[in-house]
Amino acid sequence: MFRAVGDQELFQETTRRFLEVEVPLAKVRDLAGTTDGYEPSFWRQGAQLGWTSLLVPEDAGGGSISGHGVVDLALVAYEFGLHAAPGPLIGTNVVAAALGRWGTDDQRAGPLADLLAGDAAGAWAHAEPAPNDGLGDLALTATRSGDGFSLHGVKSPVEAGRQAAYILVSARHESGPTQFLIPSNAPGLMIKPLHGLDMTRRHARLEFDGVTVPSTHLVGRPGSAGANIDWLLDLAVSIQLAEMCGALTWAFDTTVDWAFNRYSFGRPLASYQELKHRFADMKMWLEASCAISADAAAAMDRDQAQRSERVSAGKFYVGRYGPELMQDCVQMHGGIGVTFDHDLHLFLRRIVTDVPTYGTPGQHAARLTGILAGADR
């Protein structure tokens, strides 16, 4: 329901076919038992299809399909949601986008090239555990230490934190928000895998107990990353929203089919007005979710207020009504809806995991008020 135009159509179709063949739901279930949740060859092939290069400028080895890379990537993300596909899509793209925009020549030649080729994954280490889990909170500190910096603090949960070779860390320096790109084998960095609801994606807790990094690991100047981190947050959410829409579409379509084919008292479920009305509400939630999510992706190249307005309105809406839609799909299925055998929970798990990730719906609503109050002053 994200409308592809021109060359995007073939691009989206190619990703769709690839996911259908490579990660059908039976395969997704098999992969669920593995440590990483995806195979390196799968990711490398995806990179060849363009999954990792869309947000990176051409002079850094990337390139978009339509001239608007986030909109292109949203189409991929939608397909990921639709297929419950594993793989470090958001983290890798956030890191690649950051290096493409603000990276040094060395960072572009090494890490970025690896990400573009699909030889390595990226992770965005931004969120922190309570009580530092407010939107915009940043407690991990970076202090000068010799020629470099010393990092103290915790990032958690970090998606693909253990799978990624390169980690983009946001930190608080005395001069302001600062970003670093560090290798996952940086001395002193503790990466602890977490248990999680999602069967397709992995999360980790990253502990920085005086991890020293050289100045060459800085992404941008110290203290200058505030606006950049804000942009990355909007970027991560806009990709996440497209993914959520894909997952919601799968659940809705599957449940509509079920309602036509499941009989009770001699008639299909789809003939009962009480259920029809709930399907009407679900259809509204789904269409509104897709509308605002497509708009949020398209707004990523606008100025901060317009961009964040769309993104936060999207995260509020999809985050609030997406899970309602999923749970209603479960309800309409009856008992089978809460079984492990039925595929619905693969999608339910993803949606529920997405809701608080990169800001809760409530936090994004409050952020909107901040934007309004700022514009109004």
Partner 1 sequence: MSDTTDVEDVESFAARARAWLAANMPRPPDESRRDPSDDSDEEELRRVARSRRLQRLLYDGGFAGICVPSAYGGQGLTLAHQLAFNEEIADYDYPTETQLPTFTPCLPVILEFGTEDQKNTHIPPMLRGETAWMQLLSEPSGGSDVAAALTTAARDGDEWVLNGSKIWTTGAWWADWGLCLARTNWDVPKHRGLSVFMLDMHQPGIEIHRIEMLNGSREFCQEFLTDVRVPESLRVGAVDGGWTVGVRWMLHERTVLGQSPYVTGEPVRRRLGQGPGGGVAPLLQRARDLGLLTDPKASELIGEVFAMSVVGSTLGSHIAEGIRTGRLAEDAGAITRLYVGTSAVRNASIAFELAGLSAIAWSDSEAELGKRGIDYLMRQAACIGGGTTEMSRNVISERVLGMPRERAFDRDVPFRDVPRSAPQR
Interface with partner 1 (CB under 8 A), residue from 109, 227, 336, 372? 372
CB nearer to partner 1: give 171 or 244: 244
Q: Which is nearer to partner 1, 228 or 312 (CB)?
A: 312
Number of residues that bind partner 1 (CB under 8 A): 42
Residue 240 Cβ, how far from partner 1 at the closest point, in Å? Answer: 16
Q: Which is nearer to partner 1, 30 or 281 (CB)?
A: 281
Q: Contacting partner 1 (CB under 8 A), which of 256, 262, 330, 356? A: 256
Interface mask toward partner 1 for 275-314; x: CB under 8 A: -xx-xxx-xx--xx-xxx-xx-------------xx-xxx
Can you list the positions of beta strands (E) in 214-286? 218-219, 263-264, 267-268
Whichever of 54 and 135 has its CB closer to partner 1, that residue is 135
For residues 314 and 366, what is the distance between their CA atoms, to the nearest angstrom?
Answer: 13
Please report the sign of the dihedral spanned by the C-alpha atoms of residue 4, residue 10, residue 13, residue 14.
Answer: negative
Residue 368 binds partner 1 (CB under 8 A)? yes
Per-residue mark of binding to partner 1, 113-152 (x: CB under 8 A): ----------------------------------------
- Per-residue contact string for residues 2-41; x = within reach of partner 1 by CB under 8 A: -x--------------------------------------
Return phi, psi of residue 23, to 5°: -130, 60
The dihedral built from the CA positions of residue 14, 119, 99 and 79, taken in this order, carries a sign that is positive
User: Which span (36-44, 183-191, 235-243, 265-273) binds partner 1, by CB under 8 A?
Assistant: 265-273
Least Å distance between CB 347 and partner 1? 19
Kindly state whether residue 367 participates in binding partner 1, applying the rule CB under 8 A: yes
Measured distance CA(38)–CA(83) in Å, rounded: 14
Torsion over CA: 323, 329, 335, 339 (sign): negative
Produce one character per residue of 264-299: b if its CB has 16 or more CB atoms within 10 Å, e if not. Answer: eeeeebbeeeebeebbeebeebbeebbebbbbbbbb
First to last CA, the chain: 38
Q: Which of 11, 51, 180, 317 binds partner 1 (CB under 8 A)?
A: 317
Q: How far apart are CA 86 and CA 157, in angstroms?
A: 17
**By CB under 8 A, is residue 366 in contact with partner 1?**
yes
Query: Which segment (20-28, 93-101, 113-121, 361-369) binds partner 1 by CB under 8 A?
Result: 361-369
Long-range contacts of 106-110 (CB under 8 A, 24+ apart): 106/216, 107/181, 107/219, 108/60, 108/61
Give me the residues paired with residue 206 across strands.
155, 191
Contacts of 91 (CB under 8 A, 6+ apart): 121, 122, 123, 124, 158, 159, 160, 164
CB 239 within 8 Å of CB 74:
yes
User: Is 259 an interacting residue with respect to partner 1 (CB under 8 A)?
Assistant: yes
Residue in 113, 117, 165, 270 binding partner 1, rule: CB under 8 A = 270
**Of the listed pieces 9-17, 121-129, 181-189, 367-375, which binds partner 1 according to CB under 8 A?**
367-375
Instruction: Write down the least CB distance from residue 283 to partner 1, Å.
Output: 6
User: Which range of residues in 153-161, 186-194, 213-221, 270-278 is near partner 1 by CB under 8 A?
Assistant: 270-278
What b/e string do you get for 175-208 counting C-beta neighbours within 10 Å, with b at 16 or more?
eebbbbbbbbebeebebeeeeeebbbbbbbbbbb
- Name the residues that contact partner 1, by CB under 8 A: 1, 3, 256, 259-260, 267-268, 270-271, 273, 276-277, 279-281, 283-284, 287-288, 290-292, 294-295, 309-310, 312-314, 316-317, 362, 364-370, 372-373, 376
